[in-house]
Structure 1
Amino acid sequence: MLWSFSYSQQFTNITVKEGLPSNHVYKTIQDANGFIWFATDKGLVKYNGNTLKTFTTRNGLSTNDIWGMHPTPDGKLWYLSKTSKLGYIENDSVYAFESELKNEIFTPNYTSQIGNKIILTSNSRSHHLINNKWTLLHVNNSLKNKPSLYIKHPTITAFETGTALDTIKVIYKNGQIKKVANLKSILTSIHYRGQITDNLFYWTTDKEYSILNLNTLKLYKRNFKDEIGIEKSQHTRVNFINNQIQIAGRGFVGILDANFHITKTFLIPKKLDAHFAMIDKTETIWIATFLNGIYQLNKVKKNIKYAFEHEKVYKTNNLNGAIIANVYNQGFFKYDTDKKTFSPYVKETEYLFSSIYLDSLKTEFFISENKIKRLRENQKKEVFDFSNSPYYSNQIGRKLVYLNGYIYGHYSGGINKINQQDLSIIKSYMQRGINDLIVFNQQILIATTNGLKKFKNEIISEVSFNQQKFSKSILSITKVSKTDLLLNTDGFGSFITNLNEIYQLPKSEFLIVNNAFVENKNIWLATNSGILKYVLSNNTYILEKEIVLANGLPSLQVNDIYIYKNDIIVSTNNGIAILPKKQETPYQLLDIYIDKLSYNNQVVTQDNHAFKYSENNNVSIAVSSIDFSENNTNFSYNYKLEPLQNNWQTTETTLINFNNLQPNKYVFKIESQNFKKKIEFTISPLWYQTLWFKSIVLLTLITLFFRTVWYLSKRSQQQKSKKLFQEKQLSEIQLKALRSQMNPHFVFNSLAAIQYFINENNFEASEKYLVKFSKLIRRFFELSKENTISLTEEIKLLTNYLEIEKLRFREQLEYKINIDDLLETNKTKIPTMLLQPIVENAVNHGIFNKFETGTVTINFKKIDTLTYKVLIIDDGVGFVNTKSKSKKVKSSNVLQQRLTYLNTLEEWKITYFTKELHPKNDEKGNISTFIIKSK
């Protein structure tokens, strides 16, 4: 007996438990926006993959018993029922319209849809909607008292059924009549009919369907036996859905090709008792039933087979070329690779441990809680029963391996060495917590709850990696290559090891890995979170894909996995699934949209997106998606509110709130993948917030401000001019005072030098010094009356001064004066006695304290036509180390004051700064810099 495959695992069932108003569903359809609609006897339901939204008489329907629907390309969903008002739903608003005939009850059994046009058609009447009234369509009958069927067509106006019920009279608008014959089997049977496009009309019965081309009057007749292999199907209807002609009835759904043959047929299992189905844009099948609501089957699951529903399957492994599944309380089943079915192989109702093939012994073992069943080549099956043993259970081995002429098996207390003939225990080796055994490189490796052990030379010892202990609980061991193994742990993922080094498979951390399968260089993990596939790239394993419930797994608790050719055989706690290895990840996001806009907890209508400002206002925007993926709970998208936000924000929440928005025009935008939507709204200002009011207030304030400024400016202008004149005079007086303060300082230093030579009884030097000094002082007094002198005069003064100082220093002072060739010294001006105090500081505070000969260098460099630079450099001990630091500071203060006043006169812009010549070396020295600009 073959084990029958289950189909119920494939389907997602939507019932009243999930939010349907009723399990009695007439029809399901997909509208132009991608929403799925269910017509029930308790209302219409709109479904986006997450939320079921029901429309009833409370929302404006004239009845809750809706049995027909037509979606039009303009986004409307037209609803049909036996009632006095019919219409459509658009943007979640219900519109219902009456007939122009008072109190008329519609029975639109044969309603047609042509583009956006709906023709309500009963047995004898046709209506279309004009000016919010269902208006009766009148046609000219060729037969008196014989009803005609209205046709919307450029040249045809109506059909009439012939009296013999075997032909259709086609009535043209010009009065011409043509006949279409060979319709007896249809017209004499209970049938559905209707126009599906602008040039196609259909009839269906339980056994056949016919399509008439209205342009050519060519009739296409097809029967279900030839098309899909079934004799008959009740409630067969033809619909134009998603730009395809679909045909559906009890037990099937399909698509009509260009010649109106049924393709892409899906036969619905009889156990579902379905009467209608529809194929959506992503090839997901939606099945309507009268008792069990809706069944959903996505594209991926249509190619998956299931077995052993609700049964626990431990392992699926290879026994001498045969694939054997270990099924709890059922036994061991053999897989037919051609038919993809399982049949009983070894029956066993006890708890199963394993099925093993030992190649060296050419023997199969089927191991359970109390028995070991052995099947050797060309011999009868042997059964070793341990139910009467002292332990009342199998303590021989839960898994068997073969090494060096002996069988070894593990039990609850350790490892047994077993006689291969009678399976008697030769010797036992104590080791608790064993989960798996494997023979590798002439030794037995043991997976335990406390790491990896090895059994060699009849000794069990611990395996360490890089001299470190690995104590994680190992559930199973899988051979990867001749050198590498895979250790699958209980809650810590999987690890690759060559018994020396060990590293973890990436992204497997904290997973319970029950088993693994190695296919060429690929690794497949059976985990508590589905299946993980790893591929080898540049000597490193990387995670390529995950297989979960949305891919068709019957359970995330995967116990084992086996790859056979292009199929994945998955053993789970809820049976077996056979999946195609090359499977696309199902993702059915069809659209994102803004579901609702609220202002201060009041829903804003679609036609009115403007509202008045209020303090502490709240704008709430609900965002949703149309996504029929099974795992669609992690919907994320980007959003921003312009002009308040310039950058996109990412979120998974479906409700966005903005508080206290100021009056403005706003645009709320969302995007996810290639879908983009936006909604605009305006917060109107109050009267005192309007632009005209603010403009008047601002203009008034500006006028007052400028009048006040003008008055105050005029009043203080004279005082300001007078004050500036006084300040200028004061600056000139202070500048002269500073110069007079600096001249005595220079004279004092020079006289001190002469006194020094006299005290040294060096009369010749003192006389020579005195002569030079007298010439210098005379020149100084001549120029001291001037505010500025030429740079040529300043250089002569500095040269004379340095010559005097050189005499005082007894030739231990050298100086250099370098002048830029581009600098015209006779035309270039400088404030009188500006440089001399700094040169004096360089000599007296730098060179004076130096034991060897020192040098003072003065560089004049042109910067531009108005600006030049003066560098005064000495290689002395530096200002910071001089003993006369207080004097230097006093002189510097005088200089800084003088520079301040010079700059205040607005005739000069002089910048001065000093720094050490060699700040990072032991060698000292100082450099002073003047940047002088005349205005």
Structure 2
Amino acid sequence: MFRAQLTFLLLFISFFTKAQEPVSIHLSEKDGLPDKEFYNIIEDTKGFIWLCADKGLFRYDGKSFKNYSNKEKRGLSVFGVQEDADGNIWCNNISGQFFYVKENKLVTFIDLSKELKGELALFRVRKKHVIVFSQNTIYYINRATKLIEKTHFSNFSYSLNVKVGEAIYLATTDSIAVINSKTEYKNLFPTNLSTRDKNGVTIIHGKTEVFQLDSLFFLRQVRFHKNKFYQIDFHKNKLLELGGFENMESESIQHIFKNGNQIWFSTTNGVYVYNFSGNKFYEKRQFLKGKNVTKTIKDKDGNYWFTTLNRGIYVMPNIFIETYDISETHKKITALDKVDSQTLFFGSNNGDVSFFNIKTNKEFNIEMPEASKVSAIAFDSKKKLGYIGKQTKMHVLDKKTLKCKVIFSTSSAKSFSILNNNDVFVVDYKTTTLLKYANNYKPQKLLLNRRPYTSFYSKKNNAVFVGYVDGLVKYNAFWNPKTILYKNNPIYGLSITETKDGVLWVATFKDGIFGIKNDTVIHHFTTKERLVSNRIEKIEADKTNLWIATDAGIQFLNTKKKSFKTLTKRDGIISYDISGIEIMDDKVVFSSSEGLFSVDKKRAFKAQKEVKVYFTNIEIDDKKEKLKSNYQLAYNQNAVKISFNVNGLIFNQKGKYKYRLLGYNDSWITTAIGESSVKYNSLPAGDYIFQVQPFLDLEENKSEIKSLNFSIKKPFWETWWFILGILILVLGSIILYFRRKIKKKEQQRELEINKLSLDNELIALKLENLRSQMNPHFIFNALNSIQEYIILNQKKLASEYLGKFADLIRTYLNHSSKGKITLKEEIDCLEMYLELEKLRFEDKLNYSITNSENLIPDAIYIPTMLIQPYVENALKHGLLHRKNERILTINFSIDKQNSVVKCVIIDNGVGREKAEEFKARSGKNHKSFATKATKDRLALLNYGKEKQVGVNITDLLENNTPKGTQVNITIPYTTI
């Protein structure tokens, strides 16, 4: 007995008190916060957050911070931010300057540096006056004239005041006073509070403060360095001292915030929350301990903002979601069960188990003999026994004696189900086992080698449901299995619970949640029915309702109304890695890898308020334009970007927008979270209405639709006058086109006529050339030679010569009908001609015809009857007058780059000058080859051609004596 008490005493050493605190978002400079030292904060009627900081005045729209300053402002820091009845924002600085924001600019209202002499004064803005409170003087400044109309002086310091309607209640150290709506100062009654001790030393420190809670007024004063609180009784004209503030007597109070029936004190040591009931204050909680909090406000969305010195800003989205400060070593909770309405039993990743009282916030830790993590846990409230599953063994803990023993060897138990007869149903990674409580937990194997996920004992059905990897199975009292299907498909259960109406609820890893009654699925909820995710971590019944933990948020399901409420990390949920859910009266406690946290069932879900969207910017063709409700745009101003916003931190972290452009697409499109602009490129001409509506995830949308109109004019080419002008132009162009076409045809016909004329002339010239080639002298010489062969009875030679002569004449006649012949045909014809001419010269003529190696005579074509006349000219006028050694050379070469054939004819005759002399002596005046017909034919061949036939004749001289003639002929060729 003594040993058990000693064990309990030793364990009680770890039994210590823990605090619980709402989840907060800490905004610092790394989050874009422009400063870390803040003095004041307000939310204006439009939802903007205004901040007085060491670096100046800032406005926050939920996404970005904007600084307000001007040239007259001395120093950076500002204080006393407030909004007047017209929505203007005011502030002041320690230099005595007072400012207001107008048309998005900071304007200097008045400079009271001479009057205030470096004192940071309080002030109140009214419709007609700005009332400034210095330590001993009140200044009444006319807003229209900016003149000090009057002052009020006191021997005692003026207090921090409270505004109620048009009245301002304040105090000095000797009296309670009011400034009424007519700007009249009236003392109401004396405070009768001493200001000095018996030695005459001042006992009051700092400023006295008047504050209000509902219809009651209170006064705070620091006396003897301790905070003292009094209720102001206007009926009895006296102060009643209040108690209950012992824990914050010595705290330095920066700001007092009224929140319902609570007073929140912002201090240098965090925030103290006090309830007021029965004319007494009671401390409820403290949070942000150790932080120097300068002011607290609550915004329109129910979020709490806390400004601090040197720690930035804290925002609590939901004070009804609280974390429990359990031991750091036990924060990674792996299993959770409920002992009673106040106490939880949980196991952690480090292998220990703990009891935690959510009312007293006390934690009682028990170190386990096996160090492996706790994989499953259950508590039998009747027997006061805790069942703990570890990596290799199952333990049972007796809460009365705090003794722990091993009762079963198992491999990573998944879950325990305690049956009506106290037997324990155990599932591990591959086995389902029944432990008989009456037989000292004797195991009875039910099924081997079938891997389960979880189990649940239904008292209403007296049956155990097991979620296996291959489906959901129900075991009745005789342990007969029955598989439950949905549309002939298995149900893969990860977590199972049962509501009071007898519906069994099964959560799955990918198919949402199933509701089962009488072994039949009667409900199925997925993302289509507004689940935030089809992957469910844990579920727990709360009477006829259901709490659901998913990988994307925590939801409450009203199973009768089939309606959901949702909480996410943006609302203050610390983790989605949920290992357990337990219903604890008005709270639901969740265990996670980040520790324990709770949700107030009634107050954690905020009713969605109407949010107002406004346009922040419009850009047309990437150029920022002034905001207005309607725009008339030119046809080429068709790239439009529209930006919009809803003021508020939480909306910009959680909210989305629906938008559409009527006249372009009537369907609504939903943005992603944080996206607040839309851009349209290359819009066609027309009239458009852009509409946008904000909404929060999975909530009914009550917000107003905001619209912006703009029109894009048609381009000038789509206007009637332009179309008419184009039609006239087209018609005129058609007329002009056909007129030109007719004229072109006429010109073409004339060209064809001219061509026919040229062709006829060319034919005539060909005949002329043919005639010249077949000149009488040549024919006469040929016939004489044939006659001579006949007379000499050289029949064979006469026959051969006659045949060659006939072949040459036939070739001439054949070529005369063609426009082009191959170079080889031209060379063959020259060979035949020169053989006959050699007979004429009685073998005193030597000739040669050569061509370059890269020339293929068969592959190129040249004009007919082009070279022979020049060869004949060389014979008749050059070589004929020479008596012996008559030499004639003809060479052909090719220039592929310029597509021409070059023919060089060289003779060693007497030259052109001598030939003319012989011609003159003979008395013959007719022209042989160098006639007009040859020149005309060349002119016709070259007519209209880019590449032309060129002829160049050069006299060959030796010591100025004619030695022959060279003819260079350049002939364009084709390969067809």
Q: TM-score scaled to structure 1, two decimals?
A: 0.57
Match of 1:80 in 2: 92
CA distance in 2, matches of 1:3, 1:466: 49
Give 1:532 shift.
Answer: 3.6
Partner deviation per Cα, 1:391-441 (whole Å, 9 max, x = no partner): xx8549564567899866444443456676566767695315332345677
**Alignment partners' CA distance in 2, 1:655 and 1:489:** 38
| C-alpha distance in structure 2 between counterparts of 1:356 and 1:256, whole Å | 38
Maintained 8 Å contact 1:168/1:181:
yes
Which of the numbers 387, 405, 428 marks the counterpart of 1:383? 405
Instruction: Answer yes or no: is 1:655 the counterpart of 2:674.
Output: no
Distance 2:282 2:98 in 1: 34
- 8 Å CA contact 1:547, 1:553 repeated in 2: yes
Distance in 1 (alpha carbons) for counterparts of 2:276 and 2:612: 28
Letter in 2 for 1:96: T
User: Could you list the per-position Cα deviations for residues 272-299 of structure 1 after superposition, in whole angstroms to 9, with x for gaps in the alignment?
Assistant: 332322234455332111122111224x
* TM-aligned CA deviation for residue 122 of structure 1: 3.7
Structure 2 residue 203 is the aligned partner of structure 1 residue 182 = no
Q: Would you say 1:414 and 2:441 are equivalent positions?
A: no
Say if 1:254 and 1:265, in contact at 8 Å, map to a contact too. yes
Matched, 1:518 2:541: yes
- The residue type paired with residue 111 of structure 2 is S
- Asked if 1:531 is matched to 2:531, the reply is no
Change (3 A) 1:90 1:435: same
What is the Cα deviation at residue 218 of structure 1? 8.9
Q: Give the distance between the partners of 1:361 and 1:648, measured in 2 at CA.
A: 62
8 Å contact kept, 1:31–1:72: no
Q: How much is the aligned-residue C-alpha RMSD, in angstroms?
A: 6.0
Q: How far apart, CA to CA, are the structure 2 residues paired with 1:625 and 1:608?
A: 18
The answer to whether structure 1 residue 373 and structure 2 residue 395 are counterparts is yes
Q: 1:20: Cα distance to partner?
A: 0.9
Residue aligning to 2:802: none
Q: Secondary structure at the match of 1:17?
A: helix
1:207 aligns with 2:230: no
SS across alignment from 1:32: coil
Q: Is 2:490 aligned against 1:475? A: no
CA contact (8 A) 1:127 1:135 kept: no
Identity, in percent, stands at 15
Aligned equivalent of 2:468, options 443, 448, 451: 448
- Relative to structure 1, the CA distance from residue 646 to residue 284 in structure 2 (aligned partners, 3 Å threshold; closer, same or farther) is same
The 1:90–1:599 alpha-carbon spacing in structure 2 relative to 1, beyond 3 Å, is farther
Structure 1 pair 114/561, CA: closer, same or farther in 2 (3 Å)? Answer: same
Q: Which residue number corresponds to residue 526 of structure 2? A: 507
1:118 and 1:667 mapped to 2: Cα distance? Answer: 44
Go from structure 1 to structure 2 and tell me whether the alpha carbon gap of 1:579 and 1:194 turns closer, same or farther (over 3 Å shift): closer
Indicate which of 561, 568, 571 corresponds to 1:548. Answer: 568
Alpha-carbon distance change, 314 to 101 in structure 1, aligned in 2, over 3 angstroms: closer
| Aligned counterparts of 1:395 and 1:141: Cα–Cα separation in 2 | 83
Quote how far apart the aligned CAs of 1:46 are: 1.9
Question: Out of 622, 634, 646, which is 1:625 matched to?
Answer: 646
- The aligned residue for residue 295 of structure 2 is 276
SS at match of 1:272: coil
Q: How far apart are the structure 2 equivalents of 1:375 and 1:257?
A: 44
5 Å-filtered alignment, 1:577-656, equals 577-583=597-603, 585-586=605-606, 587=608, 590-599=611-620, 601-604=622-625, 615-616=636-637, 620-629=641-650, 632-637=653-658, 651-652=670-671, 654-656=676-678
Superposition deviation, residue 529 in structure 1:
3.0
User: Aligned equivalents of 1:661 and 1:35: distance in 2?
Assistant: 34
Q: Separation in 2 of the partners of 1:29 and 1:366?
A: 52
SS at match of 1:11: strand
In 2, Cα distance between equivalents of 1:413 and 1:176 = 84
1:41-120 paired onto structure 2 within 5 Å: 41-48=54-61, 50-55=62-67, 57=69, 62-83=74-95, 85-97=97-109, 99=111, 107-114=119-126, 117-120=129-132
Residue 560 of structure 1: aligned partner: 580
Output aligned runs, 1:151-300, within 5 Å.
Answer: 166=174, 180=190, 182=192, 184-185=194-195, 189-192=204-207, 205=222, 207-208=227-228, 221=239, 225-226=243-244, 230-237=248-255, 249-250=267-268, 251-252=270-271, 267-298=286-317, 300=318
* 2:366 counterpart of 1:324: no
Q: Contact 1:74–1:116 at 8 Å: present in 2 too?
A: no
Query: Cα–Cα, structure 1 residues 281 and 411, in superposed 2: closer, same or farther, change >3 Å?
Result: closer
Asked if the contact 1:61/1:94 (under 8 Å) is kept, the reply is no
For residues 440-484 of structure 1, give each alpha carbon's deviation from its aligned partner in whole angstroms, at most 9, with x where no partner exists.
Answer: 7787654322323577999997836389452x6432444568986
Q: Residues 71, 225 of structure 1: CA spacing in aligned structure 2 closer, same or farther, 3 A cutoff? A: farther
Change in CA separation of 1:217 and 1:120 when aligned onto 2, cut-off 3 Å: farther
Contact 1:446 1:453 in 2 (8 A): yes
Cα–Cα, structure 1 residues 617 and 330, in superposed 2: closer, same or farther, change >3 Å?
same
Report Cα offsets for 1:490-511 as digits up to 9, x if no partner: 3333334468544662126863
Q: 3-state DSSP class of the match of 2:106?
A: strand
CA contact (8 A) 1:204 1:236 kept: no
Quick one: which of 22, 42, 46 aligns to 1:29?
42
CA distance in 2, matches of 1:525, 1:418: 30
Q: Which string of whole-angstrom CA distances, capped at 9 and with x for unpartnered residues, describes residues 146-184 of structure 1?
A: 9999999999999998xxx75699999999999845354
1:313 paired residue among 311, 323, 333: 333
Separation in 2, partners of 1:156, 1:399: 65
The 1:184–1:503 alpha-carbon spacing in structure 2 relative to 1, beyond 3 Å, is: same
State whether residues 396 and 416 of structure 1, in contact with CA within 8 Å, keep that contact through their aligned partners in structure 2: no
Give the 3-state SS of the residue equivalent to 1:556 in structure 2.
Answer: coil
CA distance in 2, matches of 1:175, 1:534: 58
> Is contact 2:41–2:307 with CA below 8 Å preserved after alignment?
yes
Give the counterpart of 2:32 among 8, 15, 19: 19
Task: For residues 101-157 of structure 1, give each alpha carbon's deviation from its aligned partner in whole angstroms, at most 9, with x where no partner exists.
Answer: 8999764333334457433444466666668885445548799xx999999999999
For the residues of structure 2 that align with 1:397 and 1:118, how far apart are their CA atoms? 72
- Show CA shifts across 1:287-346 (max 9, x none): 111122111224x42474535387222333246997423333263333547546553467
Tell me the TM-score normalized by structure 2.
0.55
Q: Distance in 1 between matches of 2:47 and 2:113?
A: 35
Greater shift in the superposed pair: 102-111 or 364-373: 102-111
Q: Partner residue of 2:506?
A: 487
What one-letter code is carried by the residue in structure 2 that aligns with 1:452? L
Structure 1: distance between partners of 2:184 and 2:422: 99
666-675 or 276-285, which moves further after superposition? 666-675
Question: Using a 3 Å threshold, how does the CA distance of structure 1 residues 467 and 456 change in structure 2: closer, same or farther?
Answer: farther
- Alignment check: 8 A CA contact 2:505 2:516 kept: yes
Does the 8 Å contact 1:82/1:105 carry over to 2?
no
Q: Which amino acid aligns with 2:206?
A: H
Are 1:589 and 1:627, in contact at CA under 8 Å, matched by a contact in 2? no
Question: In 1, distance between residues paired with 2:628 and 2:652?
Answer: 35
Report the secondary structure of 1:65's partner residue.
Answer: coil
Residues 673-725 of structure 1 show CA distances to partners (whole Å, capped at 9, x for unaligned) of: 66558688999999x99xxxx99x99xx9xxxxxxxxxxxxxxxxxxxxxxxx
Report the AA paired with residue 505 of structure 1.
Answer: H
Question: Could you tell me which amino acid in structure 1 is paired with residue 345 of structure 2?
Answer: I
Unaligned runs of 5+ in 2: 1-13, 197-201, 695-700, 726-976
Distance 1:396 1:141 in 2: 79
Partner amino acid, structure 1, of 2:95: T
Unaligned runs of 5+ in 1: 387-392, 702-935
Question: Secondary structure at 1:270's aligned position in 2?
Answer: coil
Instruction: Tell me the SS of whatever aligns to 1:555.
Output: coil
- Tell me if the contact between 1:126 and 1:150 (Cα under 8 Å) persists in the aligned partners: no
CA distance in 1, matches of 2:709, 2:423: 83
Deviation at 1:256, TM superposition (A): 12
Contact 2:232-2:240 at 8 Å conserved across structures: no
Alignment-derived partner of residue 741 in structure 1:
none
Among 301, 312, 322, the alignment partner of 2:319 is 301
- Measured against aligned partners, the alpha-carbon deviations of 1:805-840 in whole angstroms (never above 9, x if no partner) come to xxxxxxxxxxxxxxxxxxxxxxxxxxxxxxxxxxxx
SS of the aligned residue for 2:647 comes to strand
